[in-house]
Structure 1
Amino acid sequence: MHTLIPFTADTCRQLVAKREGETKIGQTLHCYEGKAPLGEHLAKAKADGVRFVILGIGEDIGPRANLGRGGAVDAFEAVMAQFCNFQSNQFLDGSLCLVLGQIATQDLQLPADATTQTLRDNVEKLDQRVIDIVTAIIAAELEPIVIGGGHNNAYGLLMATKAATKRPVAAVNLDPHSDFRPREGRHSGNGFSYAAASGALAHYHVLGMHELKNSQQTLEQLAAFGGKWHTFQSIWVRQELTLKQAISDIVIDLNASGLPVAIELDLDAIINMPSSASTSAGIPLIDALFYVNQVARNTNACYLHLAEGAPSCHPAGIEAGRRETGQSISELIYSYIQGRTAQHPLG
């Protein structure tokens, strides 16, 4: 498939630092050589015991189309360099994972002087690629773990989930921004409002929404849709409720919907994380890990989306950014997998 750049066994081997007496995840996970048709390969992976499919979408056209900064293009490579060198052991068997590769975006990337309209047109083209590939993954009864790229890709993921399951989706998003901005052309700030308008999103809860980073118009649109939120200030600043209580309330709502559940996380939410809109007033990584783990464990989760990681935006340079985003996103992936394989009630 020309819209997918496969993560081959040879690519994986080059990343793994072998050590005698140890088995790394990169030595046990499944790869995609790109030779068999995608659907056929996914069916075989499912038969071979794969449950999770890791997919990259390296692009910053969505954030730039939202008048933001670029950089969210190479998180996937940074993550694979870390994730493949985790230990495959009694806590995580790497053979549960297929690393499919990355959706091709090079032909959609545009120069710095590109017009906003051209960027938004290309986001629409990317949407269709995301929908096609993710629909195939979910239709094969596998769970995508998607490493972005901008949060614009939430739209394609929600549309794909609806296409594969024939049902609308209930989503929870840990994010200072609701991404429910007006439908003014596709970009990273309106993936959820477009999905709601299309009927793909039926229930939406924003966790950690910053009270001063969402316009009144956006808040009113979200409220009119029936969206709910817990703000960053209510939990981490004023401490009106605990994170555990907020997540418990969210889980009850998600399960009451009876719908497939999407777990969304914008890396912008995490304090000083290299991302498209990094913040000094964010949440600790450990709280993000708890969020992912608990929602994965206690709901009918169908995918995890980790958006906006941007190694090049680290103040100490891209190599420091690759280490931080690679390690952090790898931990988030493990938190999701561990939650999905544990599946016991919130306690």
Structure 2
Amino acid sequence: MEKLIRFTLNDLAKITSHRSGEIKFGERIQTVPKEMDTLEFLEASDAEFVLLGIPEDIGVRANLGRPGAASAWESTLKSIVNIQHNRFCKGGRLIILGKIDVSEEMETINELSPASKEDRKTFFKLVEKIDKEVSHIVCQIVKAGKTPIIVGGGHNNAYGNIKGLALAKGKPVNAINFDAHTDFRPLEGRHSGNGFSYAFEEGFLKKYFIFGLHENYTSKSILESIKKTEDKVKYNTYEQIAVRGEKNYIEEMELAEKHIATDAFGIEIDLDAIPNIPSSAMTFSGFSAEQLRQFIHYFGKNRNASYLHICEGAPDLAFEKNNHLVGKLIAYLITDFMKAKAE
């Protein structure tokens, strides 16, 4: 875990706002003590969940998207530590591990343009470097008997999450993706649009379900590619459920669960599926935040749910007065997952 910047008790104290008569999450959240080895602490701690940040948007830029996703981690931290510790959800169940150090890679891309073919190759290589760190740390968290909660960053990190879980389990794993896009694009070099296709091609991803795909933004070639693997890769569309009423939201969750929940699986959440959430591919049409919360609760309570990844939120793209709202939403999603696992 060389590239891990551990979150300290001092970091926690700086962003936790105390109020008389209240107990904030930050007053109960666990951090790795300075004197302790990270893995030893993870194995010894009674907390079930480990929060990891990946503050980058290199994969988004490599996919020709708008930058901004790197800012979600700090926004999330400020929100999660200041929610209430109470009988519904207890801060002591969560360890804030820290963030992957991507400062060098983020500095490198300042001199590059994804519009340049040569520069784009460098973007791909930088994403591959991050992949290795993500997969290693996720693998170690799972091996320590904990459930990772990963806050991105771009959706490129789905690859590292899936690979890390598969390595920890010693076999291919499954994934469900709440997303407007498949992220199953061609293997043209690593970016935020092909994390799942790379994981599938390399044998780490066995079964995959895309929930709420937007028909207007899915190419014919990708749909044909999925059709060739329809026993392994399945999907429904937002329009089938919410526009034309051909399918029912609850029933579709049940069908998706049957497809992926027979083995360990990851829950992937792309915030560009929710209307008006600042992201590289922001939308005005999509499922509501409440429906997303229902989704996380439904899949989180399955015993095979093995990690939660929330990505593509970009507070830097929000109106300045409301740039805290992305972190606030992510904090809701994290605690929904924690509550569901408690069931």
TM-score (norm 2): 0.95
- Aligned to 1:74, the other structure's residue is in SS state helix
CA shift at 1:75, angstroms? 0.7
Q: Which residue of 221, 225, 229 maps to 1:221? A: 225
For residues 268 and 295 of structure 2, what CA distance do their matches in structure 1 show? 10
- Aligned to 1:102, the other structure's residue is in SS state strand
In 2 relative to 1, CA 217–298 (structure 1 residues): closer, same or farther, beyond 3 Å? same
Residue 80 of structure 1 corresponds to which residue in structure 2? 77
Equivalent runs, 1:1-347 vs 2, <5 Å = 1-33=1-33, 35-45=35-45, 49-109=46-106, 110-111=109-110, 113-114=112-113, 115-226=119-230, 227-255=233-261, 258-314=262-318, 316-317=319-320, 319-321=321-323, 323-342=324-343
CA shift at 1:217, angstroms? 1.4
- Aligned to 1:30, the other structure's residue is in SS state coil
CA shift at 1:38, angstroms? 2.5
For residues 211 and 235 of structure 1, what CA distance do their matches in structure 2 show? 12
- Per-residue CA deviations over 1:158-206 (Å, capped at 9, x if unaligned) read 0000100112111100000000000000000000000001111100000
Which of 53-62 and 276-285 deviates more?
A: 276-285
CA shift at 1:34, angstroms? 5.4
CA shift at 1:290, angstroms? 0.5
For residues 335 and 6 of structure 2, what CA distance do their matches in structure 1 show? 22
- Per-residue CA deviations over 1:28-82 (Å, capped at 9, x if unaligned) read 010134553322221122xxx1100011001000010111111111111111111
TM-score (norm 1): 0.94
CA RMSD, aligned part only?
A: 1.2
User: Is contact 1:167–1:260 with CA below 8 Å preserved after alignment?
Assistant: no
In 2 relative to 1, CA 236–107 (structure 1 residues): closer, same or farther, beyond 3 Å? same
The total of aligned residue pairs comes to 334
For residues 121 and 35 of structure 1, what CA distance do their matches in structure 2 show? 35
- Aligned to 1:31, the other structure's residue is in SS state coil
Q: Name structure 1 gaps, 5 residues minimum.
A: 343-347
- Per-residue CA deviations over 1:263-306 (Å, capped at 9, x if unaligned) read 00100001110112110112110010010110111351000000
Q: Name structure 2 gaps, 5 residues minimum.
A: 114-118
Which of 107-116 and 213-222 deviates more?
A: 107-116
What is the letter of the counterpart of residue 303 of structure 1?
Answer: Y
For residues 63 and 34 of structure 1, what CA distance do their matches in structure 2 show? 34
For residues 166 and 155 of structure 1, what CA distance do their matches in structure 2 show? 16
Identity between Structure 1 and Structure 2 (%)? 38
Which of 273-282 and 186-195 deviates more?
A: 273-282
User: Is contact 1:32–1:101 with CA below 8 Å preserved after alignment?
Assistant: no
For residues 206 and 85 of structure 1, what CA distance do their matches in structure 2 show? 33
- Aligned to 1:145, the other structure's residue is in SS state strand
For residues 146 and 313 of structure 1, what CA distance do their matches in structure 2 show? 21
For residues 139 and 78 of structure 1, what CA distance do their matches in structure 2 show? 28
User: Is contact 1:62–1:150 with CA below 8 Å preserved after alignment?
Assistant: yes
What is the letter of the counterpart of residue 91 of structure 1?
Answer: F
User: Is contact 1:57–1:147 with CA below 8 Å preserved after alignment?
Assistant: yes
For residues 194 and 34 of structure 1, what CA distance do their matches in structure 2 show? 37
